[in-house]
């Protein structure tokens, strides 16, 4: 079964990039969405897409043809909102204008840790919502302990955006239904494999329509607790464990979960100029 991992912190220094990509390919992970958290990571993600883009000549030898297709987000995580300034937004605008990025983000609000002031988080989120609307890109959302404020902001713009993704959703059914009202897709991680912490999510997923489901590892974080032995860090190759738990909860075949999540992700993230460059290889 082909897999699309829609949430990987692939630029994390803990990763051996070549090893992670090869192991993902061996596990039939055909696509990976590289998450960006600040302007520096966004620039690196864009460079990574360029580096891993196959040549236009489909008959040429290509070392990346058997590895997962890479897609990327670009944006400023709420943790880094305090350091965002006019120069940051000019750089982000230039990155988005390159037409290779699949979504704006990871962006949103995090009132749990408040590594940046709430006022700066709100301002940074608003700026990125406006950029997403301008460039007609989807928004890759982060939210923690700020659901009402985030929804208040999304309510004003969601109809003008191509799509929204609730990245690493860990909320309850009521919150999920509100996101679905905005047309959101819901990213499910290994959090669902934790029967203690993930009880609310497990309940919510029972009523999550398959046409709004996305699967993501959020690697190197959130290793699925259903797997033994526990690995030192999570990786895209473990994404099937998340699908298996979703299938168990929804009482359907894992193949149905995999097919729906893959189809949804391809429709959302196979955007931009890099898409045509890859098409002959997959």
Assigned domain for 198 exists: yes
Q: What is the mean pLDDT of the chain?
A: 92
Looking at residue 54, its pLDDT comes to 61
Angle at 32 between CA 31 and CA 34, to 5 degrees: 150
Burial of 190 (0-12, 13-18, 19+ CB in 10 A): buried
In terms of Cα–Cα distance, which of 213, 139, 133 is closest to 176?
213
Give percent of the chain with pLDDT exceeding 90: 90
pLDDT at 132: 98
Q: What is the spatial distance between Cα 169 and Cα 53, in angstroms, rounded to a whole number?
A: 30
- What tens digit of pLDDT does each residue of 148-172 get? 999 999 999 999 999 999 999 999 9
Q: What average pLDDT score do residues 252-268 get? A: 98
pLDDT tens readout for residues 179-201: 999 999 999 999 999 999 999 99
- Residue 120 sits in which domain range? 3-52+65-275
With 0-12 / 13-18 / 19 or more C-beta atoms within 10 angstroms meaning exposed / middle / buried, residue 121 is buried
Is 25's pLDDT higher than 50? yes
Retrieve residue 269's tokens.
């993230």
Residue 65 is predicted with a pLDDT of 61
Per-residue DSSP letter, 143: E
Q: Is residue 44 part of a domain?
A: yes
Residue 18 in any domain: the answer is: yes
Taking residue 75's Cβ as centre, other Cβ atoms within 10 Å add up to 33
Render pLDDT for 123-132 as a digit per residue (tens, 0 to 9).
999 999 999 9
Looking at the domain assignment, is residue 281 inside a domain? no
Among 178, 272, 256, 247, smallest CA distance to 211 is for 256
What pTM value is reported for the model?
0.92
Residue 58 lies in a domain: no
Residue 160 lies in a domain: yes
Residue 273 has pLDDT above 50, yes or no: no
Nearest to 166 by CA among 136, 144, 181, 187: 187
Give the model confidence (pLDDT) of 60-104 as tens digits. Answer: 444 556 899 999 999 999 999 999 999 999 999 999 999 999 999
* Residue 185 maps to a domain: yes
Q: Please check the confidence at residue 57 and state whether its pLDDT lies above 70.
A: no
Per-residue confidence band for 275, with pLDDT thresholds at 50, 70 and 90: very low
Q: Which residues contact 182 (CB under 8 A, 6 or more apart)?
A: 151, 154, 155, 158, 164
Mean pLDDT of 131-144: 98
CATH code assigned at 81? 3.20.20.140
Of 191, 281, 266, the residue nearest 4 (C-alpha): 266
In a domain, 28, yes or no: yes
What is the count of structural domains for the chain? 1
């Amino acid at each position: 079964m082909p897999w699309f991992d829609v949430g990987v912190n692939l630029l994390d220094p803990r990763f051996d990039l070549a090893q992670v990509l090869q192991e993902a390919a061996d596990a039939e992970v055909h696509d990976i969405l590289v998450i960006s958290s600040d302007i520096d990571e966004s620039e690196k993600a864009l460079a990574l897409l360029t580096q891993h883009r196959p040549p236009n000549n489909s008959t040429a030898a290509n070392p990346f043809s058997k590895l997962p297709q890479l897609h990327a987000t670009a944006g400023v995580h709420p943790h880094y909102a305090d350091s965002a300034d006019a120069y940051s937004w000019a750089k982000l605008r230039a990155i988005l204008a390159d037409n290779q990025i699949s979504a704006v983000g990871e962006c949103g609000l995090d009132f749990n840790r408040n590594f940046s002031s709430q006022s700066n988080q709100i301002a940074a989120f608003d700026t990125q919502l406006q950029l997403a609307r301008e460039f007609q890109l989807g928004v890759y959302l982060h939210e923690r302990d700020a659901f009402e404020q985030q929804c208040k902001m999304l309510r004003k713009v969601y109809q003008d955006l191509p799509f929204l993704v609730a990245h690493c959703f860990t909320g309850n059914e009521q919150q999920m239904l509100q996101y679905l009202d905005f047309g959101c897709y819901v990213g499910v991680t290994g959090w669902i494999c934790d029967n203690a912490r993930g009880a609310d999510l497990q309940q919510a997923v029972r009523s999550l329509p398959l046409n709004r489901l996305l699967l993501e590892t959020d690697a190197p974080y959130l290793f699925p607790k259903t797997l033994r032995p526990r690995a030192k860090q999570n990786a895209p190759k473990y994404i099937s464990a998340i699908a298996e738990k979703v299938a168990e909860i929804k009482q359907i075949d894992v193949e149905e979960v995999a097919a729906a999540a893959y189809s949804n992700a391809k429709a959302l993230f196979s955007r931009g100029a890099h898409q045509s460059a890859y098409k002959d290889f997959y």
